[in-house]
Amino acid sequence: MPLRSTESGWGALVRLFHWSIAILILAQAAVGLWMVQLGLTPEKVRMFALHKSIGMTILALVLLRIAWRMSERKPADPAGMPRWQMIAARATHLALYVLILAIPLSGWWFNSTANAPLVWFGWFNLPSLTGGLDPVWKPRALLLHQTLFWFLVALLVVHVGAALWHHFRQRDDVLRRMVAGPAKRRGGGN
């Protein structure tokens, strides 16, 4: 199982980053939407701490993912793919990267403006971005965190829809190679 991506498919590390971050973001969204509805109970406090810890983990993984991805080239697009689709895919992927970076950063920013604690899984403290309470920027940071999240949801509908369309309508390798990696050499000469 090659670690690096090749002309015909994604390497193991890209796939590991893609699917682990995808699963963490789905869990994170569920925890986030659920925790804000809870009454002020110890459970709410625990859920907030968990949300922040998972969120900071996602931020670290996204930074590593981007660093690794910059050292690699993308596998070739399916033969005959129209130019507008290549551009649309590139633009969507770029926007996804921007959002999965900006959402945890905005959460960290909001948490800092609220002067709330930030302890990674009960292990160690992470610093504040604002150095204390900031009542002016606090509601803006929260609005940003929420708005970016809904942008991500909308973009994911397009992203997942495109992946399924490639797989079931185009019957090409786009989804398969993100799940299983580079194609094996087939017999028959094509």
Q: Which residues form the interface with ligand HEM (CB under 6 A)?
A: 18, 21-22, 25, 28-29, 32-33, 36, 48, 51-52, 55-56, 58-59, 69, 74, 89, 93, 96-97, 100, 103-104, 107-108, 110-111, 118, 142, 145-146, 149, 156, 159-160, 163, 174-175, 178
Looking at the Cβ atoms of 171 and 187, the one nearer to ligand HEM is 171
Q: How far is the CB of 53 from ligand HEM (least distance, A)?
A: 8
- CA-based torsion, 4, 98, 141, 35: positive or negative: negative
Question: Contact, 133 vs 114, CB < 8 A?
Answer: yes
**In angstroms, what is the minimal distance from the CB of 169 to ligand HEM?**
14
**Pairwise CA distance, residues 44 & 40, whole Å:** 6
Question: Helix H segments across 71-137?
Answer: 83-113
**Between 100 and 130, CB nearer to ligand HEM:** 100
Closest by CA to 111, choosing from 94, 90, 125, is 125
Give the shortest CB-28-to-ligand HEM separation in angstroms: 4
Q: Which residue, 103 or 130, has its beta carbon nearer to ligand HEM?
A: 103
Q: List alpha helices for the chain, DSSP H.
A: 12-35, 42-70, 83-113, 138-165, 174-180
Query: Which residue, 157 or 186, is less far from ligand HEM as judged by CB?
Result: 157
